[in-house]
């Protein structure tokens, strides 16, 4: 029997998503390639999603497409800053109220806040099976990733002049652009704290601060690098790809550090707050090859499901070496902010 | 399903007009009364409040004219404005006029405190009165839209859809609030709104925008991060800062057209 026929048969019986565990596990073993929405069960019923804002509308397009494709599905959405929604979920749980069925966050640190509170439900094995090996978590599903990069000005530097260690950059003579107030930068510093310890991170911050020019956001950093205001910057990968898309002759390229916080892959992610099979099936849509491909193509985000092409202009994830780190640990932001403040960075 | 979410409404073409009046749940002056969700029922009292306000300010200015600055307490002007319900009715429905009312109030106050001639004070008073009547007109129009169900209820829940083009509208609205806060002499709040608007809203659309027009993004980046915060920090007048905001809003209009074009050309998700 063709896999597609098999799944559609299950969907017709209304059993997919509520499979008994052994069968679900057996089924999971077959789902190692990206799944098409055509193979997924239709969504029927009501769900409430708390949606952390991101990519200014592309996530909305995904949600609209899912609803359009499922006329019997009604999705109520509460939107807001990711961290605020994570705090709301935890506060609502403490108050004995459960309003959200799902939480889609643009930042895995916010996911960590909710999972640490024990509110997220475990993922079924077939969902985990679709994700790349290093992005499998027990109770949440990374949806797409973004990698920390070193955008550099190509008229001033060649790639081999850039250190491949984030710690060595602090000792180089390169001028640097950074956006310390930016959430992704703070997640990166949190990763550095976890990997290198607070003392080394503090010394790194102090050294870089001496030669860094501060920008409000990371697109500003990348634009500053392109204009030649600084040699290199610290920024998520998609800013460079998008600037180059709008300005193909930009004096800009990407460099990567190796196996340290400088090439951290952070992720947006989704979790369910109840055991409703409908919520789990909704998550399957976000991991479908169509949604993953759309976010890679339109938002330059990194698909984390097996077998989906990377955005144009980005090397394959297997050719870069992000550090091994539990992304939910990035929720430990307070000590990072304190460290940045005590060293005069914020 | 959670009951506190209302089903989406189809607004049709009227939304284009109504959008100028759609309430925004962002306030800094304490709780907004439930009356803002029943504008039509309160129009009579709003009208009376505007007349009362105009009369109180006129009495104060006349006293200044006849008896001098020592005979008046200009802080009363702020008290008058903050005591009327109409205050929140206009704040939730037309922020640019809300800002103009504050600007007029402070125009009168500063002219008196600065010992200006009665004629100069009257110029400021006229500007404030005009803004008040303009505001009443806007609230009346908003009441009509509300009667037709075209106006969202004021709630504390952020459930508004934020497509990229809707985000641009929200950014423009936030910039109006910058002027409003500045007119209220809340400089720190104004600066905070600029900062938050950049990080939480503009940052989310500039990725798409830069693919369409890198120079436009560069100009807006500079406006958000240098020109506007600097104008506020340098204590420029409300009118001067409004000029910066107006220039940004013109650029944002172009940004919206580009984003809508990009959204139109974007392939379907599936």
Task: Give me the tens of pLDDT residue by residue for chain A, a chain 346 residues long.
Answer: 333 333 333 333 333 333 333 334 433 444 467 899 999 999 999 999 999 866 557 888 899 999 999 999 999 998 887 888 898 999 999 988 888 999 999 888 889 999 999 999 999 998 999 999 889 999 999 999 999 999 999 999 999 999 999 999 999 999 999 999 888 899 999 999 999 999 999 999 999 999 999 998 899 999 999 999 999 999 999 999 999 988 999 999 999 999 999 999 999 999 999 999 999 999 999 999 999 999 999 889 999 999 999 998 888 777 889 998 999 888 888 899 999 999 999 8
Nearest to A266 by CA among A147, A99, A173: A147
Q: How far apart are CA B122 and CA B109, in angstroms?
A: 11
User: How far apart, in whole angstroms, are the C-alpha atoms of residue A40 and residue A27?
Assistant: 13
b/e map A187-205, b = 16+ CB within 10 Å: bbbbbbbbbbeeeebbebb
Element of type H or E holding B60: helix B39-67
Contact A226, A152 (CB under 8 A): no
CB < 8 Å from B in window 15-44 of A? 37
Residue A255 sits at φ, ψ, to 5 deg, of: -120, 160
Specify the pairing of strand A141-152 against strand A73-80: unpaired
- For B269, which of A78, A219, A291 is closest by C-beta distance? A291
- The answer to whether the CB of B129 falls within 8 A of the CB of B220 is no
In a mutational test of the A interface, the residue from B152, B200, B207, B258 whose CB has the highest number of chain A CBs within 10 Å is B207
Cβ-based contacts of A213 with chain B (< 8 Å): none
Q: How many CB pairs under 8 A join A and B?
A: 122
The chain B residues in contact with chain A (CB within 8 A) are 1-2, 4-5, 7, 157-167, 195, 198-201, 203-208, 210-214, 217-218, 221, 224-225, 263, 266-270
Q: Does A288 touch chain B (CB under 8 A)?
A: yes
Classify A55 in phi/psi space as left (phi over 0), alpha (psi -120 to 50) or beta: left
Buried b (16+ CB within 10 A) or exposed e, A226-260: beebbbbbbbbbbbbbbbbbbbeebebbbbbbeeb
Residues of B in contact with A217 (CB under 8 A): 198-199, 203, 206, 221
Look at B1 and A74 and tell me if their CB atoms are within 8 Å.
yes
pLDDT of residue B145: 86
pTM for this model (two decimals): 0.76
CB–CB of B269/A294 below 8 Å? yes
Gap from A99 CA to chain B (nearest CA, Å): 6
Contact residues, chain A, for B204 at CB < 8 Å: 53-57
Which pLDDT score, from 0 to 100, does residue A58 have?
83
Contacts of A246 in chain B (CB under 8 A): 210-214
**Angle at the Cα of A295 (from A182 to A141), degrees rounded to 5?**
80
Nearest-Cα residue of chain B relative to residue A65? B269
Q: Touching check for A240 and chain B: CB below 8 Å?
A: no
Question: Biggest alpha carbon distance in chain A?
Answer: 65
pLDDT given for residue A75 in this prediction: 94
Nearest by CB to residue B205, choosing from A48, A56, A79, is A56
Residue of B nearest to A75 (CA): B1
Render A222-267 in DSSP notation, one character per residue.
HHHHHHTSSSEE-EEHHHHHHHHHH-TT-S-EEE--SSSGGG-EEE
Question: Mind listing the pLDDT tens digit of every residue in chain B (270 residues)?
Answer: 333 333 333 223 333 334 344 433 334 344 667 888 889 999 999 999 999 999 999 999 999 999 999 999 999 999 999 899 999 899 888 899 999 999 999 999 999 999 999 999 999 999 999 999 999 999 999 898 888 777 766 543 445 666 788 889 999 999 999 999 999 999 999 999 999 899 888 988 888 898 899 889 999 999 999 999 999 999 999 999 999 999 999 999 999 999 999 888 888 898
Residues of A in contact with B157 (CB under 8 A): 78
* Structure-token match 């009495």, residue found: B59
Which residues between 68 and 107 in chain A have a beta carbon less than 8 angstroms from any beta carbon of chain B?
A: 69, 74, 76-81, 99
* Cβ-defined contact of A55 to B204 (cutoff 8 Å): yes
Quick count: other Cβ atoms within 10 Å of Cβ B93? 27
Residue B108 to residue B120: CA distance in whole angstroms: 9
Q: Are the beta carbons of A295 and A270 closer than 8 angstroms?
A: no
Interchain CB distance below 8 Å, A223 and B164:
no
Task: Dihedral sign for Cα A290, A50, B190, A216, please.
Answer: negative
- As a whole number of angstroms, the distance between CA A121 and CA B85 comes to 47
For an interface test with B, the pick among A34, A56, A146, A311 (most B C-beta atoms closer than 10 Å) comes out as A56
| Residue corresponding to tokens 């679900």 | A24
Nearest CA in chain B to A100: B2
CB contact under 8 A, A182 and B199: yes
The tokens describing A96, both together, are 């004995």
Element (H, E) at A20: none
Residues in chain B: 270
Q: CA-to-CA distance for A48 and A73, rounded, in angstroms?
A: 11
Query: Is any Cβ of chain B less than 8 angstroms from the Cβ of A248?
Result: no
Q: How far apart are CA B201 and CA B187, in angstroms?
A: 21
ipTM entry? 0.73
User: Nearest CA of chain B to the CA of A215: how many Å?
Assistant: 8
Which residues in chain B have their CB less than 8 angstroms from residue A240's CB? none
Nearest-CA distance A312 → chain B (Å): 14
Contact B204 A53 (CB under 8 A): yes
Whether B206 sits inside 8 A of A219 (CB atoms) is yes
The token pair that represents A281 in the structure block: 């099936």
Helix (H, G, I), strand (E, B) or coil at A280: helix
Is the CB of A245 less than 8 angstroms away from the CB of B211? Answer: yes
Q: d(Cα A3, Cα B166) in Å, to the nearest integer?
A: 41
Give the closest of A81, A217, A247 to B198, CB-based.
A217
What angle is formed at CA A57 by the lines to CA A54 and CA A60, rounded to 5 degrees?
A: 100
Specify whether the CB–CB gap between B204 and A184 falls below 8 A: no
Q: What span, in angstroms and rounded, lies between the C-alpha atoms of A291 and A58?
A: 10
Q: Mutating which of B170, B171, B194, B203 best tests the A interface, going by the most A Cβ atoms within 10 A?
A: B203
- Partner-chain residue, chosen from A56, A239, A300, that has the shortest CB–CB distance to B164: A56
Which residues 131-160 of A are in CB contact (within 8 Å) with B? none
User: What per-residue confidence (pLDDT) applies to A10?
Assistant: 34
Instruction: Give the residue carrying structure tokens 């002219």.
Output: B111
Point out the residue among A48, A56, A299 whose CB comes nearest to the CB of B2.
Answer: A48
Compute the nearest-CA separation of B223 from chain A (Å). Answer: 12
Q: In whole angstroms, what is the distance from residue B147 CA to residue B259 CA? A: 32
CB contacts, 8 Å: A80 with chain B: 158
Tell which residue, A256, A245, A300, A225, has the closest CA to residue A148.
A256
């Amino acid at each position: 029997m063709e896999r597609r026929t098999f799944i559609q048969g299950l969907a017709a019986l209304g059993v997919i998503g509520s499979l008994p565990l052994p069968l679900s596990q057996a089924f999971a073993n077959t789902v190692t390639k990206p799944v098409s929405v055509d193979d997924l069960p239709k969504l029927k019923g009501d769900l409430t999603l708390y949606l952390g804002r991101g990519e200014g509308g592309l996530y909305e397009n995904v949600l609209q497409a899912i609803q359009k494709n499922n006329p019997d599905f009604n999705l109520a959405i509460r939107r807001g800053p990711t961290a605020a929604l994570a705090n709301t979920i935890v506060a609502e749980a403490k108050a004995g109220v459960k309003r959200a069925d799902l939480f889609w966050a643009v930042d895995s640190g916010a996911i960590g806040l909710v999972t640490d509170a024990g509110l997220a439900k475990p993922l079924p094995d077939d969902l985990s099976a679709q994700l790349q090996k290093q992005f499998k978590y027990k109770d949440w599903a990374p949806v797409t990733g973004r990698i920390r990069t070193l955008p550099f000005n190509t008229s001033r530097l060649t790639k081999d002049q850039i250190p491949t260690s984030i710690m060595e950059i602090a000792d180089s003579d390169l001028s640097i652009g950074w956006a310390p107030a930016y959430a992704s930068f703070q997640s990166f510093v949190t990763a550095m704290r976890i990997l290198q310890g607070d003392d080394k991170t503090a010394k790194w911050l102090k050294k870089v601060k001496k030669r860094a020019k501060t920008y409000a956001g990371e697109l500003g950093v990348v634009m500053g690098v392109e204009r030649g205001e600084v040699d290199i910057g610290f920024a998520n990968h998609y800013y460079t790809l998008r600037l180059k898309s709008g300005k193909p002759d930009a004096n800009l390229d990407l460099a990567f550090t190796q196996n340290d916080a400088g090439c951290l892959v952070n992720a947006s992610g989704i979790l369910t707050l109840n055991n409703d099979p409908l919520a789990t099936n909704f998550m399957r849509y976000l991991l479908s090859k169509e949604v993953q491909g759309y976010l890679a193509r339109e938002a330059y985000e990194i698909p984390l499901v097996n077998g989906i092409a990377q955005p144009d202009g980005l090397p394959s994830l297997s050719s870069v070496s992000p550090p091994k780190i539990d992304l939910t640990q990035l929720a430990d932001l307070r000590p990072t902010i304190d460290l940045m403040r005590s060293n005069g960075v914020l | 399903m959670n009951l506190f979410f209302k089903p989406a409404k189809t607004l049709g073409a009227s939304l284009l007009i109504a959008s100028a009046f759609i309430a925004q749940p962002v306030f800094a002056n304490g709780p907004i009364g439930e009356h803002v969700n029943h504008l039509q029922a309160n129009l009579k009292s709003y009208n009376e409040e505007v007349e009362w306000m105009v009369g109180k300010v006129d009495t104060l200015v006349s006293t200044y004219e006849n008896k001098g600055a020592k005979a008046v307490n200009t802080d009363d002007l702020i008290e008058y404005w903050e005591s009327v319900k109409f205050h929140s009715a206009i704040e939730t429905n037309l922020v640019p006029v809300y800002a103009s009312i504050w600007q007029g109030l402070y125009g009168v106050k500063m002219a008196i405190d600065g010992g200006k001639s009665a004629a100069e004070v009257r110029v400021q008073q006229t500007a404030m009165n005009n803004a008040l009547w303009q505001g009443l007109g806007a609230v009346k129009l908003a009441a009509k839209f509300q009667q037709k169900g075209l106006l969202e209820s004021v709630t504390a829940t952020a459930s508004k859809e934020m497509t990229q083009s809707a985000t641009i509208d929200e950014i423009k609205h936030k910039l109006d609030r910058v002027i409003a806060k500045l007119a209220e002499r809340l400089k720190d709040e104004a600066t905070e709104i600029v900062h938050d608007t950049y990080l939480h809203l503009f940052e989310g659309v500039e990725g798409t925008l830069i693919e369409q027009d890198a120079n436009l993004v560069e100009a807006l980046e500079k406006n958000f991060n240098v020109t506007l915060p600097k104008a506020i920090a340098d204590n420029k007048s409300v009118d001067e800062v409004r000029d910066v905001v107006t220039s940004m809003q013109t650029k944002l209009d172009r940004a919206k057209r580009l984003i809508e074009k990009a959204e139109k050309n974007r392939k379907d998700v599936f």
